Amino acid sequence: MAVERSESKLEFAVQMSCESCANAIRNALAGIDGIHSVQINLSEEQVLIDTTLTSGEVQALIEGTGRRAVLKGMGTSTLRDLGTAVAMLGPEGPVQGVVRFLQLSEQQCIIEGTIDGLSPGLHGLHVHEFGDLTNSCLSCGGHYNPGKNRHGGPLDAERHVGDLGNIHANELGRATFRIQDDRLKVWDIIGRSVAVDSGEDDLGRGGHPLSDVTGNSGESLVCGIIARSAGLFQNPKKICACDGVTLWEERDRPIAGPDRKKPTEAPAANL
């Protein structure tokens, strides 16, 4: 049975300086299935969107107009802040991406993200017990399983809380996903980790000795620590006071290190 997709509200900062910029964004988002409302504040360079699409899908639509967009916050359409979190996967190595978590209600959590560099096909996605990357993904522990249950699929009555099933990578190696889950709670997973595995999770039905433990989905290819992130209107940042890197430059630079201050060429906005 298909689960009805719940709506979330996304807050983007968008490089725009004129009404024609705002109109281009409105036109790019108009009539798109899954986008239900768009509010643009030109003076604040802010775009608010009610949608059932992933933030990556919406960002791609906005940037298709030639303007840079940065996600600043996620929330519910009722503006109740029940918790948001994010995990950056990588950034070193061929597999990289981001996974975001939004607690819609006491019963529903949205997990959405974009992962690049995967082999085409299905890959297991799991929340792990520890946020410890001292030995890469090997030190993240097992799947988050406070109930001491066997491994299963997202819709199974018995499963690890961290069992999120599979994500699908296309022929280019990109997986874009949006999952709704009624077990995961953002407040329980802050400081833990999320990982993408090399193979398909058999959801505990494969008959392999590891089916009841890991879904026999192979080694973790990439992982990241789950950290608290900004909700709606909670991120006023436009420039990093510590090193002067702007909001627009930051997405193309490492979090730290000598390359952070190197200039980068941003695509010119179409005015």
How would residue 77 be classed by pLDDT, with cut points 50, 70 and 90?
A: low
Top-confidence residue, 78 or 48: 48
CB within 8 Å of 78: residues ≥ 6 apart: none
How far apart, in whole angstroms, are the C-alpha atoms of residue 56 and residue 71?
9
End-to-end CA distance of the chain: 46
Average pLDDT over residues 130-139: 95
CA distances from 31 to 26, 27, 36, 40, 106 (A): 10, 8, 9, 16, 31
Asked if the model's pLDDT at residue 4 lies above 70, the reply is no
Interstrand relation of 121-128 and 163-169 (parallel, antiparallel or unpaired): antiparallel
How far apart, in whole angstroms, are the C-alpha atoms of residue 194 and residue 192?
7
pLDDT at 104: 85
pLDDT at 76: 78
Domain 84-228, what fold?
A: Immunoglobulin-like (2.60.40)
> Which run of H or E residues covers position 93?
none
Average pLDDT over residues 70-93: 81
What percentage of the chain carries pLDDT values higher than 90? 68
Average pLDDT over residues 12-25: 92
How far apart, in whole angstroms, are the C-alpha atoms of residue 193 and residue 144?
9
CATH placement of domain 8-80+237-261: 3.30.70.100
Peptide bond into 120 cis (omega under 30): no
pLDDT at 259: 52
pLDDT at 267: 43
Cβ burial of 46 (10 Å; 0-12, 13-18, 19+) is middle
* Tokens (6 digits) for 216: 């026999």
Mean pLDDT of the chain: 86
How would residue 257 be classed by pLDDT, with cut points 50, 70 and 90?
A: very low
Using one digit for the tens of pLDDT, what is the confidence trace for 33-46?
999 999 999 999 99
Asked if the model's pLDDT at residue 266 lies above 50, the reply is no
Which residues are registered as beta bridge partners of 121? Answer: 169
pLDDT at 181: 95
Top-confidence residue, 228 or 200: 200
Asked if the model's pLDDT at residue 214 lies above 90, the reply is yes
Asked if the model's pLDDT at residue 255 lies above 60, the reply is no
Asked if the model's pLDDT at residue 227 lies above 80, the reply is yes
- Contact predicate 227/87, CB 8 Å: yes
- Contact predicate 37/77, CB 8 Å: no
Map out the domains of the chain as residue ranges. 8-80+237-261, 84-228
Average pLDDT over residues 184-207: 96
Average pLDDT over residues 243-265: 51
Using one digit for the tens of pLDDT, what is the confidence trace for 159-169?
999 999 999 99
CA distances from 203 to 110, 148, 154, 160 (A): 20, 16, 8, 11
